[in-house]
Amino acid sequence: MSEPNEATFDIVILGGGSGGYAAALRAAQLDLSVALIEKGKLGGTCLHNGCIPTKALLHAAEIADQTRESEQFGVKAELVGIDMAAVNSYKDGVISRLYKGLQGLVGSAKNITFVAGAGKLVGQNVVEVDGKRYTGRNVILASGSYAKSLPGLEIDGERIITSDHALTLDRVPASVIVLGGGVIGVEFASVWKSFGVDVTIVEALPRLVAAEDEESSKALERAFRKRKINFKVGKPFEKVEKTDNGVKLTISGGDTVEAELLLVAVGRGPNTANLGYEEQGVKMDRGYVLTDERLRTSVPNVYAVGDIVPGLQLAHRGFQQGIFVAEEIAGQNPAVIDEAGIPRVTYSDPELASVGLTEAKAKEQYGDKVKTYNYNLGGNGKSQILKTAGFVKLVRLEDGPVVGVHMVGARVGELVGEAQLIYNWEAYPAEVAQLVHAHPTQTEALGEAHLALAGKPLHSHA
């Protein structure tokens, strides 16, 4: 990991998160020389402050719930409490193992030069770090995102916090208001509820996880209601005040909620300010970097990947885009990424998973040709064993392929691997229906939904 002065590379990558490091690793495999510039920790948001720590918390939450409810399964147990220090050391242990692995991969790639420091685009193909200039025949912008706030909401890191603070909290608060009912908001709400916290979600849009199919939102809301997670949807937040013991939030219309903490989870903004992008002529829109479908910015040989590119803000989208751009630069002419084909998982309890179009989107696009089928997990043996409720919903075109899969229920996140092949390979229900699934698994619910759509339901009515 030497730091050359004025060195030239095939690719200079600004940012070592999901998008940046994936591009670096793939480029190195293709014998391109790479400078990977990272001001924080290799791995970025996802590994250190995003996907991994949240999912560790969610798993601890699952264990707390299962212990609490173990008598339903004949296991007598007593939940004594949550030891946040131990939860955090479990979580940090997972991160550091994966971090070591990633450092090993990048470190052992001969043609990757890792540059520690904050970079700035100072020429159309030059990034400067601490006074040193790294020139790239190509440049990939991958500077990621940060937790946004709203006007009138000052993040103090104590009572008004973002996910960054929430992930290092050393205690279980008595009560929390979660502002924002998107993926990050509902995941934290789910964790805290499992830890015994009184939780209220406030969301301006008319439903939780509004990007998902409406039926998924409804099912999540039903489940949250059962779990006694409070939520208020449909009205924007108006103001927040500090109280003696916490915060008081006023919702448009006058309704108020009080709690010990306020988590602001109103979305992530692109981390692009003062990085020289605009100065070098990169076309931007509200802070996002604009690209074409081949991820080219408006400046020749400058690409962008990950959360700074408008669209889904997901780690594996960053991986896929990073790999794409590396292959593109190497002249491999990779196939354009279908954004709808990127799987989406919300890891709350219950989980949500989807790929392809929502029913509403499909109808916008295809009108009357759209058919749907909803298989209730009540008929799925394994889901009954897990005592989970939910469904697998398919959206297909008449006499055509499956164009959307939407699932709700414990552990359905793992079913999206199969769903993703079905969507991206444009499979017909009959083609999936032909392959009978392992019994008793939750994958059978996917199978049953396809059997039903193919006109041959096995464990359901058509």
Partner 1 sequence: PAQASAAPVQAAPAPAAPVSPAPVGNGHGQAGGLVLAKPPVRKLAKDLGVDLTTLTGSGPLGSITREDVQQAASATPAAEPLTV
Ligand X SMILES: Cc1cc2nc3c(=O)[nH]c(=O)nc-3n(C[C@H](O)[C@H](O)[C@H](O)COP(=O)(O)OP(=O)(O)OC[C@H]3O[C@@H](n4cnc5c(N)ncnc54)[C@H](O)[C@@H]3O)c2cc1C
Query: Considering only residues 230, 233, 379, 441, which one is a binding residue for partner 1 as defined by CB under 8 A?
Result: 379
One residue of 159, 193, 232, 393 binding partner 1 per CB under 8 A: 393
In the complex with partner 1, the residue whose CB is nearer, 202 or 362, is 362
Give 251 or 389: the residue with its C-beta nearer to a copy of itself: 389
Residues paired with 249 in a beta bridge:
240, 257
Nearest residue (CB) to ligand X, 251 versus 309? 309
Is 68 exposed, middle or buried (CB count within 10 Å of its CB: 0-12, 13-18, 19+)? middle
367, burial (CB in 10 Å: exposed 0-12, middle 13-18, buried 19+): exposed
Least gap, CB of 358 to a copy of itself (angstroms): 17
The contacts of residue 177 (CB under 8 Å, 6+ apart) are 199, 200, 201, 202, 247, 249, 257, 258, 259, 261, 262, 263
- Cα 24 from Cα 330, distance rounded (Å): 12
Position among 5, 74, 293, 335 found at the interface with partner 1 (CB under 8 A): 335
Using CB atoms within 10 Å of the CB of residue 359, give its burial: 0 to 12 exposed, 13 to 18 middle, 19+ buried.
buried
Q: What is the DSSP string of 406-426?
A: EEEETTGGGGHHHHHHHHHTT
User: What is the residue whose two structure tokens read 């790294």?
Assistant: 134
> Is 306 an interacting residue with respect to ligand X (CB under 6 A)?
yes
Residue 298 as a binder of partner 1 (CB under 8 A): the answer is: no
- The span of 56-64, 110-118, 276-284, 325-333 binding partner 1 (CB under 8 A) equals 325-333
The answer to whether residue 39 forms part of the interface with ligand X (CB under 6 A) is: yes
Rule CB under 8 A: is residue 272 a binding residue for partner 1?
Answer: no
Distance CA 321, CA 198 (A): 39
For residue 88, the partner it binds in a copy of itself, ligand X, partner 1, none, with Cβ less than 5 to 8 A by kind, is: a copy of itself
Interaction with partner 1 in 419-448: which residues (CB under 8 A)? 421-422, 424-428, 430-431, 434-435, 439-440, 444, 448
Task: Name the residue nearer to ligand X (CB basis): 39 or 218.
Answer: 39
Q: Is 439 a catalytic residue?
A: yes
Chain center to CA of 51: 7
Q: Of a copy of itself, ligand X, partner 1, none, which one does residue 137 interact with (CB within 5 to 8 Å by kind)? A: partner 1
CB of 179 to a copy of itself, least distance (A): 25
Q: Which long-range contacts (CB under 8 A, 24 or more apart) does 210-213 make?
A: 210/181, 210/182, 211/182, 211/344, 212/344, 212/346, 212/352, 212/354, 212/358, 212/406, 213/354, 213/358, 213/359, 213/360, 213/393, 213/395, 213/404, 213/406
Binding site for ligand X (CB under 6 A): 14-20, 37-40, 44-46, 49-51, 54, 118-119, 142-145, 163, 184, 271, 275, 306-307, 313-316, 318, 439
Catalytic residues: 439
Binding site for partner 1 (CB under 8 A): 10, 18, 21, 29-32, 43, 46-47, 52, 98-102, 104-105, 137-138, 315, 327-335, 371-376, 378-381, 384, 391, 393, 399, 421-422, 424-428, 430-431, 434-435, 439-440, 444, 448, 452-456, 459-462
